[in-house]
Amino acid sequence: MGSRASSLLREEDIEEIKKETGFSHSQITRLYSRFHSLDKGENGALSREDFQRIPELAINPLGDRIINAFFPEGEDQVNFRGFMKTLARFRPVEDNEKNKGPPSGEPLNSRMNKLLFAFRLYDLDRDDKISRDELLQVLRMMVGVNISDEQLGSIADRTIQEADTNGDMCISFTEFTKVLEKVDVEQKMSIRFLH
Amino acid sequence: MMEDFWASFFPVLMIWFKCLVLLIMLPAMFGISLGITETYMKILIKTLEWATHRIQRASRAEEILKHSSSNGGLIQRDDSSLEQEIEELRRNRPKAAEQGDFTLSDVLYFTRKGIESIVEDDVTQRFTSEELVSWNLLTRTNNNFQYVSVRLTILWGVGVILRYCILLPLRVTLAGIGISWLVIGTTLVGFLPNCRVKGWLSELVHLMCYRICARSLSATIHYHKKQNRPKKGGICVANHTSPIDVVILANDGCYAMVGQVHGGLMGVIQRAMERSCPHIWFERAEMRDRHLVTQRLRDHVNDKTKLPILIFPEGTCVNNTSVMMFKKGSFEIGGTIYPLAIKYDPQFGDAFWNSSKYNMVSYLLRMMTSWAIVCNVWYMPPMTQEEGENAVQFANRVKSAIAQQGGLVDLAWDGALKRGRVKDSFKEQQQKMYSHMVVGDDSSD
């Protein structure tokens, strides 16, 4: 009795992904079904168009940036491992007792990694700084045409002023973390997986 | 040698044929049941229950229980609005309302919503077959179920032989007979001059043929609330899951079909049906002219001698777990709307036609190699457009009623998203809502 989607995923792979991401066996198989159903080309990898086909994501103002986060630098295909590694950042933090995390130490869904995900949504050129332009770009994506350039500019300026502590007119990751220190990132950037 | 073979084979064929006619066709034509299908269904249900029991015992029972209790959902989503969530995110910051209220943490809301929709969204799952809670011994629905026991495998094997070697030829023969009789019968009736007898005969022919076709799918249909059956001059709307919907509904009443003119076998059937009673077939080019379409439908509806028309306002097949947006066209014609809700039981056979994956022939083959098609049809009380209600609101009202009756999810998303992209206006709506949170309402300045 062959099964369709899960036969393409071997037990060894599931074990490895389990160790790396902390998802449970059943979560991995169900997410694999989801991956498979999004993969219209059936080539074992997702392209940006595959993500765009999800209507709720296509109408999300930050949809493109979120999709971008799945793709490694310069590539336009993401395989299941990559898909799971990105999703793993959104696992709730309490589940960490069971999982020791990847060998390098920091679990994928730690508070720092969640903040890093959010930081990278702004920091498109990956220079570890959010410049005024990068901030404006994200703002423009979220508000559309409803706010004027000047007003948006002053909002950006104010935000940088408040966050910037070393005077370089950019927001570094440390400054970003400081601004969000009172925000319950663990809860806001976590998805409650059932079973 | 060949003659010997043929000589011995021929009587067998004749006997089989006679059995077919006596036991299945004739009762079907007159709407009587000999109880064969009922017995088959009872045995089938018992077997599937046993199989479910074995699977649950053998594999991790807790997982399956959790699976079924959460209705198959993978994640738990909040129902809170954009405003609520962003307020919460900003709670720890003093409000500086002069130059606009924005915080770096605002992105977290959109990020989480986006990731949630990647893991599980309301729309894309409607265009693939519904996932079963427990395996029903068909290979095609075997998604996550692994090898369990020898007995189950044997049962599955027996099922394959039964379905492919016995049921399939039987069903194909019946379908062939049904369709041929439809074409011949309607053509014959078409020779009569227009009179009441013609109408009566036409209905009889249609009913008989659809009943034979329903037998060819081993369809067990339960009709509810028959007192609300559609009357002439009305418009019937129903949720759409597959082309078989037409056979299901036409088993219990006669409708005027609406659709595009096809070539090939479908075209032959369409032209034959047209001869015995009026249906509405549109050329492809005509369908783009909405006025023309509405006018023709209106003319038909206003003629009280014509059969009620059957329309599927979703415009496309969805997988029978939800009802998607109803196109307003059918609701602008005027006249009484008779809503019909159709719900298939996926345990016995998946009726959804995934037209991007299967063409019509492979789809019909899949139907004929399932265990059976079991469905419920509810005739709902007629609805008319109310004062001050426009067509879209009326359409939504009917859609909600159908969804509720059939136990389906009521979605506002357009079924056309199966193939097309979502409109930008939805994104613009979200951007507008968010902008309000940043600069506040203009009036409050």
Put simply, whether B358 touches A (Cβ < 8 Å) is: no
Averaged over B316-340, what is the pLDDT?
Answer: 87
In which band, very low, low, confident or very high, does the pLDDT at A67 lie, cut at 50, 70 and 90?
Answer: very high
Mean pLDDT of chain A: 84
Token output for B98: 């002069």
Calculate Rg over the CA atoms of chain B. Answer: 26
B364-383 burial code (b ≥16 CB/10 A, e <16): bebbbbbbbbbbbbbbbebb
ipTM score for this prediction: 0.89
d(CA B87, CA B84): 5
Query: Residue B377: pLDDT above 90?
Result: yes
Query: Residue B361: pLDDT above 90?
Result: no
d(CA B209, CA B250): 10
> Mind giving me the DSSP string for B191-243?
TS-SSHHHHHHHHHHHHHHHHHHHHTTTEEEEEE-GGG---TT-EEEE--S-T
Query: Residue B443: pLDDT above 50?
Result: no
In which band, very low, low, confident or very high, does the pLDDT at B369 lie, cut at 50, 70 and 90?
Answer: confident
pTM score: 0.79
| Interface A:B, Cβ pairs < 8 A | 191
Q: Which residue has the higher pLDDT, B286 or B64?
A: B286
Smallest Cα distance from A53 to chain B, Å: 7
Q: Where are the beta strands (DSSP E) in B24-165?
A: 75-76
- Name the phi and psi angles at B115, rounded to 5: -65, -40
- pLDDT score, position B66: 46
Of A54, A191, A195, the CB nearest to B121: A54
Smallest Cα distance from A105 to chain B, Å: 25
Give strand pairing partners of A171.
A130
Identify all chain A residues contacting B431, using CB atoms and an 8 Å cutoff: 61, 142-146
d(CA B413, CA B272): 37
Query: Residue B64: pLDDT above 60?
Result: no
Burial tier of B88 (Cβ tally within 10 Å: 0-12, 13-18, 19+): middle
Query: Residue A104: pLDDT above 60?
Result: no
Token output for B309: 């028309």
Token output for B168: 């399939």
| B104–A188 C-beta distance less than 8 A | no
Residue among A136, A150, A137, A60 at smallest CA distance from B113: A60
How many Cα atoms are found within 13 Å in the side-chain-facing hemisphere of B187? 11
In which band, very low, low, confident or very high, does the pLDDT at B142 lie, cut at 50, 70 and 90?
Answer: low
Q: Searching chain A, which residue's CA lies closest to the CA of residue B428? A: A144
Collapsing DSSP states into helix, strand and coil, what is residue B71?
A: coil
Identify all chain A residues contacting B103, using CB atoms and an 8 Å cutoff: 159, 179
Whole-Å CA distances, B400 to A2, B330, B404: 39, 16, 6
AA letter at B128 = T
- pLDDT score, position B70: 42
Share in percent of chain B as helix, strand, coil (round to 5): 55, 10, 35
Q: Searching chain B, which residue's CA lies closest to the CA of residue A140? A: B431
Identify all chain A residues contacting B63, using CB atoms and an 8 Å cutoff: 26, 195
Query: Residue B444: pLDDT above 60?
Result: no
Averaged over A183-188, what is the pLDDT?
Answer: 86
How many Cα atoms are found within 13 Å in the side-chain-facing hemisphere of B208? 19
Averaged over B355-360, what is the pLDDT?
Answer: 80
Continuous H helices in B59-142: 61-69, 82-90, 107-119
d(CA B223, CA B375): 9
Identify all chain B residues contacting A60, using CB atoms and an 8 Å cutoff: 110, 113-114, 117, 427, 430
In which band, very low, low, confident or very high, does the pLDDT at A13 lie, cut at 50, 70 and 90?
Answer: confident
| A66–B118 C-beta distance less than 8 A | yes
Query: Residue B445: pLDDT above 80?
Result: no
Of A63, A143, A163, the CB nearest to B114: A63
pLDDT tens-place string over residues A15-54: 888 888 888 888 888 888 889 888 887 888 999 999 998 9
- Name the phi and psi angles at A107, rounded to 5: -65, 150
Mean pLDDT of chain B: 80
* Residue B102 DSSP symbol: -
Q: Which positions ≥6 away from B111 have C-beta within 8 Å?
A: A62, A66, A117, A118, A121, A189
| C-alpha torsion sign, points B188, B189, B190, B192 | positive
d(CA B297, CA B152): 53
Q: Which positions ≥6 away from A160 have C-beta within 8 Å?
A: A132, A135, A169, A170, A171
Averaged over B172-183, what is the pLDDT?
Answer: 84
In which band, very low, low, confident or very high, does the pLDDT at A72 lie, cut at 50, 70 and 90?
Answer: confident
Of B104, B120, B432, the CB nearest to A180: B104
- Name the phi and psi angles at B321, rounded to 5: -105, -10
Averaged over B399-413, what is the pLDDT?
Answer: 89
Put simply, whether B149 touches A (Cβ < 8 Å) is: no
- Residue B390 CA to chain centroid, in angstroms? 26
Count of C-beta atoms within a 10 Å radius of residue B97:
10
Helices (H) and strands (E) in chain B, counts: 16, 10
Query: Residue B136: pLDDT above 50?
Result: yes
User: Of A79-93, B143-157, B266-280, B344-358, where does mean pLDDT reach its minimum?
Assistant: B143-157
d(CA B115, CA B398): 33
> Mind giving me the DSSP string for chain A?
---SSGGGS-HHHHHHHHHHH---HHHHHHHHHHHHHH-TT-SSEE-HHHHHTSHHHHTSTTHHHHHHHHSPTT---EEHHHHHHHHHTTS-GGGGGT----TTSS-TTSHHHHHHHHHHHH-TT-SSEE-HHHHHHHHHHHHTTSS-HHHHHHHHHHHHHHH-SSSSSSEEHHHHHHHTTTS-HHHHT--EE--
Query: Residue A7: pLDDT above 60?
Result: no
Averaged over B64-75, what is the pLDDT?
Answer: 54
Q: Which of A124, A142, A177, A185 to mutate to test the interface with B (most CBs of B within 10 A)?
A: A142
| Among B57-61, B261-265, B409-413, the range of highest mean pLDDT | B409-413
- Name the phi and psi angles at B28, rounded to 5: -60, -40
Q: H/E element holding B170?
A: helix B168-190
Q: Which positions ≥6 away from A192 have C-beta within 8 Å?
A: A92, B75, B76
**Are the C-beta atoms of residues B244 and B351 closer than 8 Å to each other?**
yes
Whole-Å CA distances, B377 to A124, B170, B340: 54, 26, 7
Query: Residue A178: pLDDT above 80?
Result: yes
Query: Residue B263: pLDDT above 60?
Result: yes
pLDDT exceeding 90 applies to what percent of chain B? 9
Of B99, B110, B428, the CB nearest to A60: B110
d(CA B337, CA B331): 8
Averaged over B227-236, what is the pLDDT?
Answer: 87
User: Of A79-93, B59-73, B122-136, B205-219, where does mean pLDDT reach its minimum?
Assistant: B59-73
In which band, very low, low, confident or very high, does the pLDDT at B365 lie, cut at 50, 70 and 90?
Answer: confident
In which band, very low, low, confident or very high, does the pLDDT at A97 lie, cut at 50, 70 and 90?
Answer: low
In which band, very low, low, confident or very high, does the pLDDT at B343 lie, cut at 50, 70 and 90?
Answer: very high
